[in-house]
Amino acid sequence: MTVASTAHQSRPLRFGLAAPLPRTGPQMRAFARAVETAGFDVLTFPDHLVPSMSPFAGATAAAMATQRLHTGTLVLNNDFRHPVDTAREAASVATVSDGRFELGLGAGHMKSEYDAAGIAFDPGATRVARLIESTNLIRALLDAGPVDFDGAYYRVHAEPGALVAPPKTRVPLLVGGNGTEVLRLGGRVADIVGLAGISHNRDATEVRLSHFNAAGLANRIGLVRDAAGDRFDAIELNVLIQAVVCTDDRHAAAAELATTFGGITPEQVMDSPFLLLGTHEQMAETLTARQRRFGVSYWTVFDELAGRASALGDLAEVIALLR
C-alpha cells in the first residue's frame, strides 16, 4: 500500500548522521569535514544527560568547520531548557552558521536522566503539553513575532525581537517522536516531522516496537497528515534508522537483528522501515522504494552507538549510488 503524496515522493533525498559521542576540537573539525565529504546533508546531536556532546556546542563546532553541511538537534529534550533560552541558542547557531541549523524538539522520555539531575519526571501527557506550549513559543520567537502568552507552564510577554535576535534565514523546526499528540503537533507547526517507530514504558526501561513495521509507519504518517491538513505536502518526513547492516546475506542478518531487538521476527526485520540491511545497492533500492511508498525523503542513521559501529561509511556508499 502506498501512503505517500506525489509531493513527498518527488522531494530530494537528504541524509543525516546522529553523533552523540564527545570529541575534542580537532577531532570534531575532522569528523564534521568527513561527514560533509561523505555526502551527508545534516550532522545532528541528541540531547541526553550522559557523557555526550552538548547539542548546541556540537552543532556550532561542526558548522564552523564545514561549508555545506547543516547541523541540528535530534532532538532537544524540551524539559531541560526554557523555550526562550532554546530560541536564543537556536537563533545564535543559525546566525553564525549562515542559516545551516535545524532545530529538533522532543518531549523527553529517559526517567533515569531526570532522576539523576533532580528534575521532576512528570507523566507523559504533562511533558507533551509542555512541549506544545514551548514549540509554539519558540516558533514565534525565532520568527521575531510578538509574544503575549500565559499558558499552564510558560508565561512570556515580549515585543517583536525583544528577547531573541532572529537570524536572517528562517530556522527549520523538527518535531520528533512516536506519540500521537507529539506527531499531531508536528503536523500543525513543524517543517520536518521525525518518526521514531518506537515507544517506551513509564520509566523508559523498556523499548516497545509499537510502530516499527510498515503498517506502523503508515499509521503515524496518517496522524501527521490529518493534523497538517493543507500544509502536509510542505512537511519533510524524517525516519531515524535504528540499525544499518551491510551484508550479502539479508536473511541471516535479519535473523541476527531479530534476536538483538527481541519481539520481532526476521520477516518483520526485512519489512521494517526503521532498519536497513543488504548490499549498498540493495540499501539504495530499498530507500528509493520506501520514499515511493511512504514519502520519507530524509533518513538519519547513527554514528557509533551502544557498541555498534558507525553507519557513516556504508551510508556514504549508498548516498553516492543514489546521487
Give the CATH number for residue 130. Answer: 3.20.20.30
Quote the CA–CA distance of 280 and 14 in Å, as a whole number.
Answer: 17
User: Which grid coordinates belong to 248?
Assistant: 550479502
Q: What separation in angstroms does the CA of 236 have from each of 62, 80, 221, 225?
A: 23, 26, 11, 11
Which residue has cell 555526550? 52
Distance of CA 132 to the CA centre of its chain: 17
Q: Is pLDDT of 239 > 70? A: yes
Q: Are strands 155-158 and 173-177 parallel, antiparallel or unpaired?
A: unpaired
Report yes or no on 30 lying in a domain.
yes
Lowest mean pLDDT among 2-11, 121-130, 247-256, 266-275: 2-11
pLDDT at 43 > cutoff 70: yes
Residues in the chain: 323
Number of domains in the chain: 1
Whether 36 and 9 have beta carbons less than 8 Å apart is answered as no
Check whether 306 has a pLDDT greater than 70. no
Rounded distance between C-alpha atoms, residue 294 and residue 221, angstroms: 8
Is 317 inside any structural domain? yes
Tens digit of each residue's pLDDT (9 = 90 or more) over 63-89: 999 999 999 999 999 999 999 999 999
- Give residue 201's pLDDT: 81
Please state, for a pLDDT cut of 90, what percent of the chain lies above it. 93
Of 12-16, 242-246, 303-307, least confident by mean pLDDT is 303-307
- pLDDT (0 to 100) of residue 1: 66
Confidence of residue 113 (pLDDT cuts 50, 70, 90): very high
Looking at residue 104, its pLDDT comes to: 98
Does residue 130 sit in helix, strand or coil?
helix
- For 18, list phi and psi in degrees, rounded to 5: -95, 120
Q: 24, exposed or middle or buried, with CB in 10 Å at 0-12, 13-18, 19+?
A: exposed
- 33, 67 contact by CB (below 8 A): no
The helix (run of H) or strand (run of E) holding residue 7 is: helix 6-9
The tens digit of pLDDT for each residue in 182-237 reads: 999 999 999 999 999 999 887 767 889 999 999 999 999 999 999 999 999 999 99
Question: What separation in angstroms does the CA of 277 have from each of 16, 196, 247?
Answer: 17, 18, 7
Tell me which residue range forms the domain holding 47.
6-322
pLDDT at res. 10: 96
Burial class (CB in 10 A: 0-12, 13-18, 19+), 85: middle
Q: State residue 236 phi and psi, 5-degree precision.
A: -85, 130
**Exposure of 111 in the CB half-sphere (CA atoms within 13 A):** 11
What's the per-residue H, E or C state across 186-238? HHHHCCEEEECCCEECCCCCCEECCCCCHHHHHHHHHHHHHHHHHHHHHCEEE
Q: Determine whether 255 is exposed, middle or buried from the number of CB atoms within 10 Å of its CB (0-12, 13-18, 19+).
A: middle
Cα dist. 22→35, 45, 51, 80 in Å?
15, 10, 7, 19
Find all residues with CB under 8 Å of 116, minimum gap 6, and list them. 49
Residue 1 domain flag: no
